[in-house]
């Protein structure tokens, strides 16, 4: 932890929101950020109430994100970064406002609700000179970094096969009809975009595969379904992947698979070995060198390398979890912001998902939807 | 065990063969069969040597399967059933010879090396009146029966998603160039047919999905690869499945996935719950009723039903394995043969893979190969 | 499998008996034995009925084991070995009869119902010149052999700690009052001896620790309980162990631990590493070299040695189970009998539990009971 | 998070200390505390350096805990609570100083280095009226609370058996000779007290068993060893437990068990069912109702009750870990402090380890050492 905390604002994340609280905890864990301002709701009153819950001074709580951006930019101790944790369709507009004023943006995923917005946002980022971080938080898990480091070092040889999946069960029934807020916007094309499960969790799976292997996608074909009657967006997606260099993959995202909570899992196989990782038990990575027994590498334990070590806080055998993985994204961001503020180059070890990952994620959703409409034809990403 | 053992012959399965020994053990476990004759090799000398190893009288060991069929059919205590355990291209001809003479056939999978042969063999079976059993042995595992029984009883509701996979790693390198016999014929189109991994293990995965769910396939699309340079047949197959009634599936077969030995695994999800089963730890079935904790049902243990119980030999917690699952196919066959000999109908609980499963398996391989050649277009089975 | 099968008889194991059927299957799996005679019950009628079930000729089915021993010894093709599968108190008398006539004995465990009988039986074995094999079947599991081989080779260094346990749950309630036969004799001091759970399964755990580590016991202290009201024998035993050379251990046997079926598990730790093995998932051994990631060694797979390999039938990933482990004891016995018949020394790789293990097991039970009565005082085995 | 954070001080936890950083993160996670002062080392210079690392104003960083207590008590915005994270022998003196001035104490475990100190500290707590919280952090895991709630509600029936263990491997070699700081004081009787592994981790295991079951101990017998040559304190402890009402237990603590990182594990069995929990995969609790399949209850998931829910932050399937469990102790403490400040009674749901747990832990260590010296005689806790 360095001495002075970065001043953080938040857009969205009021009472009842799930992900706002996660961002707040993640920003606190390593002590790099202090939440000092927020626009927690577009209803001023609700925003004030949430701000009060959080102990913020009244004059730093806003009912309008544009006003917040404007005023905070002028304050001497205004926010240095803002976390945008609204539903997908409300990412673009606030992000642009803050970027315009040089305030760094930490934005929830998927990037936007449309590919067009995503591309516009990319331009806004490039024009601003500010940092833009997308919270594909699973890339913050130490053992994901371990796998990535091993693959980059050639320990698995040339990659042949990538199997990634993210099944859940919470939308097995028509939860959106019960008034449940999370289910409401996630199944609504106006707020979520063209993708349902494929956007909400499929993009996580896709990003994880890309981050871990570094392989670019050449083409995909997708078969999307809305199994729950009357649901407008997909709740199950089957995707086949073709990567550059000939590697092949399968991706499965589902919100109708009973018994699966957040069972994100990835397996990568190359000419020399394989790795397997599961989000629900994330402190271990199975490594299978060809022709040798499978090895269980643990976070910070024997056999773990530098990439995992620098994102670990505690000894092996003491599990770090989802919030620490999320916090790692925040801490990487803090390091990058400080390097940026100091005018120097960030440490090359620092890694976090960027605007490019965001655009690619939206292109992935767009491609899946296009492919599925054309009877699972092979399509390329439109980036 | 009933009093008199059925007299069994074998074609193939000489020294160095893997699956012949498995069939012999499986036939012995429950004491229903006694191996009394065999044509273990097409080289008479080799066949004699194998017969001697097995303690068979010399006059019951043959160098020619046609001669064996002819002579055994005439003997008063000739064989009542024959196990055919040769490579795929050598299933059709011997099967036909024995069927012609009313000798029941237990045949290894996949059924043949071509779909055309499979269809001809089906006609031969129909003409013969004899029983034909295909050793898709994984259907003999008690907990597979448990899952099937639960699905048939509607405990999972309407099926939505089927995820099945069979990864191995033994062909990650070009083993066929080393003279290894198993690798040799399995990667040779002349002996194996048009499918490599998709025929050898993909058919097991497909059959398991079909057996467990009872759902018919409407269409599939497949992306097959030969990752090992110079290999003629696929060693990795990615397949998307569409079942009648709208269920969707993914199937993965691979022989180049380091760390996987025989990691056949299936997960089935319906409107009311899911099940998950793994061949490498086969005595348990995970059952996830929607909205309730996952339950671990054990073979013969609490929560296990009749279908699993009748194929169990020992108390729960004492693992039964691959050989017992295989033996269950033999024992079901014995019950069916005895019912057939008695002229009665077999017990409706008896289940084993039939000639129809064999033809469907070949149609599956054929469809995968056709689809893959057409850039993973959707195709139907040609049955 | 060698050509001619050894002729096997059985004492006990009639209808409703569990372990008799296990012995029969185990004796068949590798084709080394053929059951040709039996005294399945002390009631002639019941014995005949069981014999008929098994397809034995009437004149080889006896109602009296002494008569069986006498007659079989005189027959030209009389039995060469006998399996004794009666309750504990009925091991000694029949064993003596067969041994007297030079017929090899395969006997279920624990050896007898009293330590005195055990010692007398040892003398009978020594006098006879025949082989005596005790079916501590868990020593037949390939991965148990793997661990033993590694420990003997010094791969774990000097052994410090041994943790072994065998919990079950089937006697959590007073099952013996329901007429259940297995529960009846196992909770009856007259038939079972002075030990309940400590005799029935504690001896397995103790034998496994001894077999795997090769360490001799110096002393133990035990706290035995009968948790179920009115039960005469212990249903839970906690034991601390002191081995020669300073290694320490804990042993837990329980029949009142809900959720445990046959959860025999052993962990051994030395100066250089550890191993862990579980009976319910027996095809893998966890090996933890100090300072390196844990490795998963699989039966017949990468990293497995010769001791496991020679007791494996099928490739890794295809699970072998309890019956195969049991069959390994029978097959080791067959090899030993054949060497004995040939007048030569058996292959030094052959290993099976002997009369000495049986006596030591009874001394273990006796010591546990003595210690427990003296408030868990340290006692030595009285051998 | 409530509005104003409680002002926290820290004694110990300077550079290189492991547990100080853990306490700081734990205090931050839920936003209840703000670290505002500290005495991070008894060397003023070192303390200043650590304080600067942490961004504290210089005048709130002390080189002497007594001075800190005195001054902070006088400050208008002085600390409201202090975390004491020094080695064991340095708990008593600072705790007394802060308690004397009514400052609440959060203290690392074990309570002190001697039982006498523990008892004196208890008196100091009683005299002060301030709160005293001992960070037996494993009691903060939600699924530990789940188990405790189930047991208290009688879901397992009358408890019969408790198996608890805490194996590690980091002291398998003589790490204390390498200058490693953690190993240094933990193996030194002057700083650690009479217990080595039994004090460091055995107390955690004991406390967990007590917390989860609520059962009082009647007696124990212990066999302690120092396996590493020249080590002064035990590095392995085997303990048998007798609880009130007749339940029995085994406890194993080891720091010489290769392959074990922090493998704290507990299993509790009663007349109606059992539970099993593992610290290294802490988000699930196995529940085995007698005669039914084992159920996997997940944190915040189906089947989890209120006690676990109130300590959960995020949805099931997103793992919470060691730091969140630790943070739960801090958050319970914050709730208790606020209730105390408001002069009301704390919510009865609040639970945290107290001075009584601390004294009992020291009595446990004392009893183990006494018993072991008397050849593992049964002894009672001297409280």
Query: What are D152's two structure tokens?
Result: 């208290």
In this prediction, residue D3 has a pLDDT band, given cuts at 50, 70 and 90, of low
Mean pLDDT confidence for D224-233: 98
Whether residue A303 has pLDDT greater than 60: yes
Is residue D298 less than 8 Å (CB to CB) from chain B? Answer: yes
Stretch among A306-315, D8-17, D132-141, D280-289 having the lowest mean pLDDT = D8-17
Mean pLDDT confidence for C13-25: 91
In this prediction, residue C3 has a pLDDT band, given cuts at 50, 70 and 90, of low
Mean pLDDT confidence for D115-131: 97
Residues found in chain D: 383
Whether residue B34 has pLDDT greater than 50: yes
Residue of chain B whose alpha carbon sits nearest to that of A268 = B257
How far C220 CA lies from chain D's nearest CA (Å)?
Answer: 11
Q: Kindly list the residues from chain D whose CB atom is less than 8 angstroms away from the CB atom of residue B298.
A: 293
Is residue D116 less than 8 Å (CB to CB) from chain C? Answer: no
Is residue C301 less than 8 Å (CB to CB) from chain A? Answer: yes
Q: How many CB atoms lie within 10 A of CB A341?
A: 11
Parts of chain A belonging to CATH 3.40.50.720 = 6-134
How far B261 CA lies from chain C's nearest CA (Å)?
Answer: 5
pLDDT tens, position by position, C90-143 = 999 999 999 999 999 999 999 999 999 999 999 999 999 999 999 999 999 999
Q: Kindly list the residues from chain B whose CB atom is less than 8 angstroms away from the CB atom of residue D287.
A: 293
Q: How many CB pairs under 8 A join B and D?
A: 32
Which fold, C6-130?
A: Rossmann fold (3.40.50)
Mean pLDDT confidence for A10-17: 90
Mean pLDDT confidence for B109-135: 96
- Whole-number pLDDT of residue C1: 41
- Whole-number pLDDT of residue B17: 79
- Whole-number pLDDT of residue C236: 98
Angle, helices B322-341 vs B142-152, to 10°: value is: 70
In this prediction, residue B15 has a pLDDT band, given cuts at 50, 70 and 90, of confident
Whether residue D71 has pLDDT greater than 90: yes
End-to-end CA distance of chain B: 38
Is residue A53 less than 8 Å (CB to CB) from chain D? Answer: yes
Is residue B169 less than 8 Å (CB to CB) from chain C? Answer: no
Is residue A317 less than 8 Å (CB to CB) from chain C? Answer: no
Mean pLDDT confidence for A264-287: 98
Cβ pair A362, A115 in contact under 8 A: yes
In this prediction, residue D5 has a pLDDT band, given cuts at 50, 70 and 90, of very high
Please indicate whether, in this complex, the C-beta atoms of B236 and A242 are within 8 angstroms of each other.
no
Parts of chain D belonging to CATH 3.30.360.10 = 141-313+359-373
Whether residue B67 has pLDDT greater than 80: yes
- Whole-number pLDDT of residue A1: 42
- Whole-number pLDDT of residue A24: 97
Q: Which of A4, A298, A322 sits opposite D319 (nearest CB)?
A: A322
What b-and-e string marks burial along C114-146, b requiring 16 or more CB atoms within 10 Å of the CB? bbebbbebbebbeebebbbbbbbbbbbbbbbbb
How far A298 CA lies from chain C's nearest CA (Å)?
Answer: 7
In this prediction, residue A89 has a pLDDT band, given cuts at 50, 70 and 90, of very high
- Whole-number pLDDT of residue D344: 87
Parts of chain C belonging to CATH 3.40.50.720 = 6-130
Q: What are chain C's partners, defined as 3 or more CB pairs within 8 angstroms?
A: A, B, D
| Residues facing residue B37 across a β-bridge | B9
**Measured distance CA(D38)–CA(D79) in Å, rounded:** 10
Whether residue D277 has pLDDT greater than 90: yes
Q: Kindly list the residues from chain A whose CB atom is less than 8 angstroms away from the CB atom of residue C295.
A: 292-296
Q: Which of C24, C282, C324 sits opposite B323 (nearest CB)?
A: C324
**Measured distance CA(C141)–CA(C7) in Å, rounded:** 25
List the single best residue of A272, A273, A276, A293 to mutate versus C (max C Cβ within 10 A).
A293
Cβ pair B357, B217 in contact under 8 A: no
Is residue B284 less than 8 Å (CB to CB) from chain D? Answer: no
Q: Kindly list the residues from chain A whose CB atom is less than 8 angstroms away from the CB atom of residue B248.
A: 223, 225, 236, 238
Q: Which of B2, B260, B323 sits opposite C320 (nearest CB)?
A: B323
Cβ pair D180, D339 in contact under 8 A: no
Is residue A320 less than 8 Å (CB to CB) from chain D? Answer: yes
pTM of the model: 0.97
Parts of chain A belonging to CATH 3.30.360.10 = 139-312+359-373
Is residue A285 less than 8 Å (CB to CB) from chain C? Answer: no
Angle at B26 (CA atoms; ends B21, B30), nearest 5 degrees? 145
Is residue C161 less than 8 Å (CB to CB) from chain B? Answer: no
- Whole-number pLDDT of residue C2: 46
CA count, 13 A, side-chain hemisphere, C121: 35
Q: DSSP assignment of A208-234, as one string?
A: HHHHHH-PPEEEEEEEEE--STT-SS-
Is residue C285 less than 8 Å (CB to CB) from chain A? Answer: no
As its CATH architecture, domain A6-134 has 3-Layer(aba) Sandwich (3.40)
pLDDT tens, position by position, B266-287 = 999 999 999 999 999 999 999 9
Please indicate whether, in this complex, the C-beta atoms of C303 and A297 are within 8 angstroms of each other.
no
Q: From A262, A263, A306, A308, select the one nearest A285 (Cα to Cα).
A: A308
Residue of chain A whose alpha carbon sits nearest to that of C300 = A293
Is residue B299 less than 8 Å (CB to CB) from chain D? Answer: no
Mean pLDDT confidence for A269-291: 98
pLDDT tens, position by position, A212-270 = 999 999 999 999 999 999 999 999 999 999 999 999 999 999 999 999 999 999 999 99
How far C155 CA lies from chain A's nearest CA (Å)?
Answer: 16
Q: Which of C3, C29, C282 sits opposite B319 (nearest CB)?
A: C282
Q: What are chain A's partners, defined as 3 or more CB pairs within 8 angstroms?
A: B, C, D
Is residue B343 less than 8 Å (CB to CB) from chain D? Answer: no
pLDDT tens, position by position, D175-198 = 999 999 899 999 999 999 999 999
- Residue D372: C-alpha distances to residues C163, D195, D256, D382 (Å): 19, 11, 18, 15
Whether residue D53 has pLDDT greater than 50: yes
Is residue D209 less than 8 Å (CB to CB) from chain A? Answer: no
Whether residue A16 has pLDDT greater than 80: no
Parts of chain C belonging to CATH 3.30.360.10 = 142-314+359-373
- Whole-number pLDDT of residue A161: 98
Whether residue C259 has pLDDT greater than 90: yes
Is residue B260 less than 8 Å (CB to CB) from chain D? Answer: no
CATH class belonging to A139-312+359-373? alpha beta
Q: Does domain B141-312+359-373 have CATH number 1.10.1750.10?
A: no
Please indicate whether, in this complex, the C-beta atoms of D242 and C223 are within 8 angstroms of each other.
yes
pLDDT tens, position by position, A352-372 = 999 999 999 999 999 999 999
Which fold, C142-314+359-373?
A: Dihydrodipicolinate Reductase; domain 2 (3.30.360)
pLDDT tens, position by position, D144-187 = 999 999 999 999 999 999 999 999 999 999 999 999 989 999 99
In this prediction, residue B2 has a pLDDT band, given cuts at 50, 70 and 90, of very low
| Residues facing residue C345 across a β-bridge | none
Q: From C141, C110, C102, C142, select the one nearest C19 (Cα to Cα).
A: C110
List the single best residue of A170, A254, A321 to mutate versus D (max D Cβ within 10 A).
A321
In this prediction, residue D1 has a pLDDT band, given cuts at 50, 70 and 90, of very low
pLDDT tens, position by position, C71-80 = 999 999 999 9
Q: From D332, D145, D173, D183, select the one nearest D256 (Cα to Cα).
A: D173
List the single best residue of B173, B319, B326 to mutate versus C (max C Cβ within 10 A).
B319
Whether residue B374 has pLDDT greater than 80: yes
DSSP letter for A237, please.
Answer: E
What b-and-e string marks burial along B28-40, b requiring 16 or more CB atoms within 10 Å of the CB? bbbbbbebbbbbb
Residues of chain C with pLDDT > 70, as a percent, come to: 99
Residue of chain A whose alpha carbon sits nearest to that of D261 = A317
Whether residue D2 has pLDDT greater than 70: no
What b-and-e string marks burial along B70-96, b requiring 16 or more CB atoms within 10 Å of the CB? ebbeeeeebbbbbbbbbbbbbbbbbbb
Is residue A303 less than 8 Å (CB to CB) from chain C? Answer: yes
Whether residue A3 has pLDDT greater than 80: no
Query: What are A341's two structure tokens?
Result: 């503020």
Please indicate whether, in this complex, the C-beta atoms of D296 and B293 are within 8 angstroms of each other.
yes
- Whole-number pLDDT of residue B1: 42
Parts of chain B belonging to CATH 3.30.360.10 = 141-312+359-373
Burial class (CB in 10 A: 0-12, 13-18, 19+), A268: buried
Residue of chain D whose alpha carbon sits nearest to that of A26 = D29
Q: Does domain D141-313+359-373 have CATH number 1.10.40.50?
A: no
Please indicate whether, in this complex, the C-beta atoms of C303 and A292 are within 8 angstroms of each other.
yes
**Measured distance CA(C51)–CA(D109) in Å, rounded:** 67
Q: Which of C291, C293, C301 sits opposite A295 (nearest CB)?
A: C293
Is residue D88 less than 8 Å (CB to CB) from chain A? Answer: no
């Amino acid at each position: 932890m360095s001495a002075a905390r970065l001043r953080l604002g938040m857009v969205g994340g009021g009472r009842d929101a799930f992900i706002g609280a996660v961002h707040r905890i993640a920003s606190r864990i390593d002590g790099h950020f202090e939440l000092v301002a927020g626009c927690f709701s577009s209803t001023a009153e609700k925003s004030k109430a949430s701000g009060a819950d959080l102990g913020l001074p009244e004059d730093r709580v806003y009912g309008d994100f544009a006003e917040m951006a404007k005023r905070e930019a002028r304050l001497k101790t205004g926010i240095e970064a803002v976390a945008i944790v609204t539903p997908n369709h409300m990412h673009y507009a606030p992000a642009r406002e803050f970027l315009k004023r040089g305030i760094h943006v930490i934005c929830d995923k998927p990037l936007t609700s449309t590919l067009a917005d995503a591309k516009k946002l990319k331009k806004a980022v490039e024009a601003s000179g500010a940092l833009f971080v997308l919270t594909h938080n699973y890339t913050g898990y130490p053992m994901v970094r371990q796998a990535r480091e091993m693959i980059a070092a050639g320990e698995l040889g040339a990659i042949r096969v990538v199997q990634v999946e993210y099944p859940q069960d919470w939308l097995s029934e028509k939860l959106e009809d019960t008034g449940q807020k999370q289910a409401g916007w996630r199944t609504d094309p106006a707020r979520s975009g063209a993708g349902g499960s494929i956007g909400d969790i499929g993009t996580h799976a896709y990003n994880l595969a890309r981050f871990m292997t570094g392989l670019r996608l050449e083409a995909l074909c997708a078969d999307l379904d809305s199994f729950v009657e009357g649901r407008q967006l997909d709740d199950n997606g089957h995707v086949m992947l073709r990567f550059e260099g000939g590697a092949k993959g399968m991706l499965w995202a589902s919100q109708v698979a009973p018994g699966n909570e957040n069972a994100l899992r990835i397996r990568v196989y190359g000419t020399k070995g394989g790795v397997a990782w599961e989000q629900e038990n994330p402190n271990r990575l199975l490594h299978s060198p060809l022709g040798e027994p499978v090895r269980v590498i643990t976070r910070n334990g024997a056999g773990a390398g530098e990439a995992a070590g620098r994102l670990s806080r505690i000894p092996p055998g003491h599990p770090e979890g989802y919030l620490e993985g999320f916090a790692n994204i925040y801490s990487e961001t803090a390091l990058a912001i400080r390097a940026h503020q100091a005018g120097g180059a960030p440490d090359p070890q620092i890694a976090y998902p960027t605007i490019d990952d965001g655009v690619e994620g939206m292109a992935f959703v767009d491609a899946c939807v296009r492919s599925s409409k054309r009877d699972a034809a092979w399509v390329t990403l439109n980036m």
